[in-house]
Structures are given as structure tokens and as C-alpha cells.
Amino acid sequence: MFIKITHAGSGANATVSLTGATVKSFVTAGGKEVIFCSRLAKLDGSKAIRGGIPLCFPQFGQPDKSMPQHGFLRANQWKQGKSYEDEATGAAVCDFVLTLTDNMRDRGGKWAPGGEYKCEAIYCVKVEAEKLTTTLTVTNTGDKTIEGQQALFHTYYEIEDKKAMDKDACNVKGLKGYSVVDKSPGEGEPAEFIQEDELVFVYKEIDRIYSNPLKPDLDLMISTGSNSKVKLEASGKVNGVSAATSVVVWNPYIEKAKSLGDFGDEQYHEMLCVEPGLLNNDPLSSGNTMVFEQVITAL
């Protein structure tokens, strides 16, 4: 089931699947689609959607092998909460809620049914004329501190005219000086380095984690076409304290794209993932919250 959130003042809208509370689409007031979704994505709830903004929690990747990659938020069924207009901005807002007692899928280890860890998640999606704000709030409802938790917005951006391989049309600016962990280094390339160039762009399979503890909040400019840009801002707090925001830049390129059953072989030309994440394993104490927000502004 999909929920459409429409900004009354401009007609801008976002479409959200109750499977994973995944934002599948964000169309601006000018009619521009900002978010990429694979043409082969499974939209029947049978698996996480390939594209959109999948939610990753309590892990990014699969450090805990007892549960699936990226955790359980993106695969379970959420409930629609309240819908309203934000009085301050006029934004159209809709909340989505996930409680573990209602969702048993893709949970393992200490998160397994009857396990030590318990939480409630509320996801707020806010739509304005040219802006999409997503806020994930996770509350530790158990009596144990949640250790090793991570959260990430796995955001897929639509690249105009299939120009993801054109570094002038598709790139990320704002990561100079960040430490990089490259999960798919090319021949002769280091697995860890400091980003020295102004721009990050696709020239092979790109799967990199960028971190800078001196810059806890993220502020990037993403070129999504020859005449299209997106400003990305992200920040988070754990237990009420500011937490450093990392970012993953990903494009599967040729061979990886062919190996993905729910992704067209040539669709790597059409997308770029720029994924803000809280990846420092900050413990979440009982009764406290993790609040993580990204703001996407189409320019």
C-alpha cells in the first residue's frame, strides 16, 4: 500500500510505501522527480524496495549475521500515523509508526522476538514545494542499553538524461578532507585515504564511506544532471547529544548492476546513492531516543 503526501500550496508530493516506510518518489512543484526507483523493484511487499529511501536500522550492511543486511526497518510493515499541515512552514506532513510487537520479520540476535532489545520507531515525512525532510526517531523502550546501533537513509537520486557516468553532470561536492573507507577499491587504489578532490564522481563501482568527526553535520551539494542540483543536509542526536554523520556514496557500475535481480542492467547510468548515516555504534540507553534527519532541497 502506498500513501501520497501532497503539499497543498504547490502540488509537490511524495509517495511512501508502508513496506519499510520507504519514500518511493518525491516530485517537486516544478514536476521534477528527485528520487530514483528501479524499474524492476518489487513493490508488492515481498522484499525491500530497490530505490527510493530505504531505512537502515539497527545496522548498515551486515555486521550482525543473525539478521539480514541493513536490519529490519526496510522490510517490515509500518502503520500510517497522523497527517497534518505544519503551521510554521505550511508543509504537508505524515507520520509512520513501527512497533516490534507487530513485526517479527528479519529480526535476529538480541533483536529477535523475546530478545533483549526493544524499540519503537516513528518516521516523519515532510513535503514542501522544493524540499523533502525525513526524520527517523527511534526510542529504546526496553530496559537494556542498545549497543552497536547504526542508522542510515539509503537515498537513491534520479540522474537526468542517464548521465551518472558524466562527472560534470553527476557528482558530490563537500567531502574534501573527509576520511574514506573504500569497500570496492580499484586495482592499485588504497582501501583507506583522505578525500583530496573537491568532487566525488563515478568512474567504476563506487562504494565508499566518508567520515569527518570535526564536521558532525552533513552539508553537501549533489549534481544530478547538467542543469539539476540537490542540496543535502543531515544531522543526528543520540541520547540528546549530537552524533557525527557519515555518508556513503554508491553506484553499482556494470558488473554489480548485472548481479542485482531487481535492478536493470543499464540503470546504473540513471542513479547515484548518497546515504547519510549514523555509523559510530553510539549506544542508545533505556528510555532515550535517536533522532536522525535529512533535508533534501531541489535547486
Q: Tell whether the model's pLDDT for residue 233 goes beyond 80.
A: yes
Task: Over range 198-213, report the average pLDDT.
Answer: 97
% of the chain beyond a pLDDT of 70: 100
What would the pLDDT profile of 83-98 be if each residue is shown by its tens digit?
Answer: 999 999 999 999 999 9
Whether 163 and 170 have beta carbons less than 8 Å apart is answered as yes
All residues at 6 or more sequence positions from 128 whose CB lies less than 8 Å from its CB, including other chains: 7, 10, 12, 89, 90, 91, 92
pLDDT level of residue 281 (50, 70, 90 thresholds): very high
Q: Tell me which residue has cell 543486511.
A: 69
Q: Please check whether residue 295 is in contact with residue 131, taking contact to mean a CB–CB distance below 8 angstroms.
A: yes
Give pLDDT tens digits for 6-61.
999 999 999 999 999 999 999 999 999 999 999 999 999 888 899 999 999 999 99
Q: Give me the amino acid identity at 93.
A: V
* pLDDT value of residue 164: 98
Q: Judge contact between 286 and 126, C-beta under 8 A.
A: no
Q: Which three cell numbers stand for residue 201?
A: 564522481
Query: What cell does 122 get?
Result: 516513528
pLDDT of residue 107: 86
Q: How confident is the model at residue 65 (pLDDT cuts 50, 70, 90)?
A: confident
Quick: pLDDT tens for 234-258: 999 999 999 999 999 999 999 999 9
- In this prediction, residues 61-71 reach a mean pLDDT of 89
Q: What mean pLDDT value characterizes the chain?
A: 96
**Amino acid identity for residue 261 in this structure:** G
Q: Cell digits for 246?
A: 557519515
Whole-number percent of the chain with pLDDT over 90: 91
Residue 16 burial class via C-beta count within 10 angstroms: exposed 0-12, middle 13-18, buried 19 and up? buried
**Which pLDDT belongs to residue 114?**
86
> Can you name the residues that pair with 22 across neighbouring β-strands?
17
| CB 135, CB 291: distance < 8 Å | yes
The C-alpha atoms of residue 196 and residue 200 are separated, in whole angstroms, by 10
Q: Is 101 left (phi over 0), alpha (psi -120 to 50) or beta?
A: alpha
As a whole number of Å, the CA-based R_g of the chain is 18
| pLDDT tens profile 103-114 | 777 788 899 888
Does the pLDDT of residue 67 top 90, yes or no?
Answer: no
* pTM, rounded to two decimals: 0.97
Q: Are 55 and 153 in contact (CB under 8 A)?
A: yes
